[in-house]
Amino acid sequence: MINRRHFQLTAAIAALAALAPLGAAQAQTDSMSKIKERGTIRAGVKYDTPPFGFLDDKNEPAGFDLDIVRKIGEKLGVKVEFVKVTSPTRVPLLVSGNVDIVAASMTHTRERDKAIDFSITYYTGGQSLMVASDSKIAGLKDLDGKEVAVQQGTTLEKNIAAAAPKAKVTAFKDYNSAWLALAQGRVDALTGSLNILQGFLKDNPKFKIVGELFSVEPFGIGIRQGDSELRDAVNFALQDLWTSGEYSALYRKWFNADPTYPIETWP
């Protein structure tokens, strides 16, 4: 009798274990149906990182990331609601369900992949340096003993520490704060993704970008772990944007150049 009960209990546990992943998966994929029901996809975006996400002259959210999300919304047949995020808050807000996706100049890393899923790479950039136009800093080799501003909670912070170990790295809560430190002469250099630095440089001719790129930054759209239905929908939308030419048009609009890397497409 004991053996029989033991067998029945073991079988019951095994059955529950087999059903648990299905229940978890169902809970995750519900996000797609919820988006369709409410008719809106909530996207976490930055308001301080031109040209990816910022507030324009009319104090309206604008940028490359936002235009990409608007196009994704069109492909899904829903409206878009933008929610302000920062580098430290973008993953927690996604995991907690406050947003459905995050399009916030976020590099796809193995560490972040432990907490969330990512779309295919929709933009590939690299890290560079910005200094005052009269600065003698010409690249990483000149940073010994110099103070470099960087945005905290990003791959940029780790990259500059490794690339210039003798520099004094000062992390700021957002790009605007880091840029202001350089503009006011409180730091010797600002490091960030090249196109973001170019966004700040656009209206500030008293500064320059120096040196070569010293990292590769593949940006992905963040999606909750296991949310495969939504991830597929985002991936298909990105691929459709590439094949239709819409992606290239948006890229030229914000970066004044043709895309350097194609978006991965599947047959």
Which pLDDT tens digit goes with each residue over 27-48? 455 799 999 999 999 999 999 8
Whole-angstrom Cα distance, residue 98 to residue 102? 10
Residue with tokens 């895309």: 259
Whole-model pTM above 0.85?
A: no
Checking 58-67 for CB contacts under 8 A at 24+ apart, the result is: 63/254, 64/123, 64/250, 64/251, 64/253, 64/254, 64/255, 65/103, 65/104, 65/105, 66/103, 67/250, 67/253, 67/254
Amino acid at 30: D
Give the Cα separation of 167 and 143 in Å (integer): 5
Which CATH number is 99's domain given? 3.40.190.10
Residue 11 lies in a domain: no
Answer yes or no: is pLDDT of 267 > 50. yes
Q: Is residue 43 part of a domain?
A: yes
- Beta carbons within 10 angstroms of residue 10's beta carbon: 10
Q: Tell me the per-residue pLDDT of 158-203, one tens digit each, with 9 for 90 and over.
A: 999 999 999 999 999 888 899 999 999 999 999 999 999 988 888 8
Residues 38 and 119 in one domain: yes
Same domain, 56 and 81: yes
In this structure, the answer to whether residues 120 and 191 fall within a common structural domain is: no
Task: Check residues 63 and 4 and name the one with the higher pLDDT.
Answer: 63
Residue 38: the pLDDT is 95
State whether 149 and 33 are in the same domain: no
Task: Write down the pLDDT at residue 201.
Answer: 87
Flag whether pLDDT at 142 surpasses 90: yes
Q: Based on the domain organization, do 153 and 236 belong to the same domain? A: no
Q: What percent of the chain has pLDDT over 70?
A: 89
Residue-wise pLDDT for 251-261, tens only, equals 999 998 899 89
Q: Which contacts of 242-251 are long-range, i.e. CB under 8 A and separated by 24 or more positions? A: 246/71, 247/68, 247/122, 250/64, 250/67, 250/68, 250/71, 251/64
Peptide bond into 267 cis (omega under 30): no
Please check whether residue 83 lies inside any domain of the structure. Answer: yes
Q: Are residues 32 and 120 in the same domain?
A: yes
Q: How many domains does the chain fold into?
A: 2
Round to whole Å and give the CA distance between 104 and 84.
9
Residue 37's pLDDT is what?
A: 95
- Which SS3 state, helix, strand or coil, does residue 33 take? helix
Other CB atoms within 10 A of residue 206 CB: 9
Question: In the prediction, which pLDDT does 149 show?
Answer: 98
Name the residue range of residue 163's domain: 127-215
Displacement of CA 163 from its chain's centroid (Å): 22
Domain membership flag for residue 36: yes
pLDDT at 8 over 50: no
Instruction: Indicate whether 108 and 182 sit together in one domain.
Output: no
Share of the chain above pLDDT 90, in %: 79
Q: Are residues 35 and 116 in the same domain?
A: yes
Q: In angstroms, rounded to a whole number, what is the distance separating the alpha carbons of residues 63 and 244?
A: 20
Residue 147, SS3? strand
Give the DSSP H or E segment for 69: helix 64-76
**What pLDDT score does 11 carry?**
44
Q: Is the pLDDT of residue 13 over 70?
A: no
The rounded mean pLDDT for the chain is 89
Domain match, 108 and 229 both: yes
Note whether residue 1 is domain-resident. Answer: no
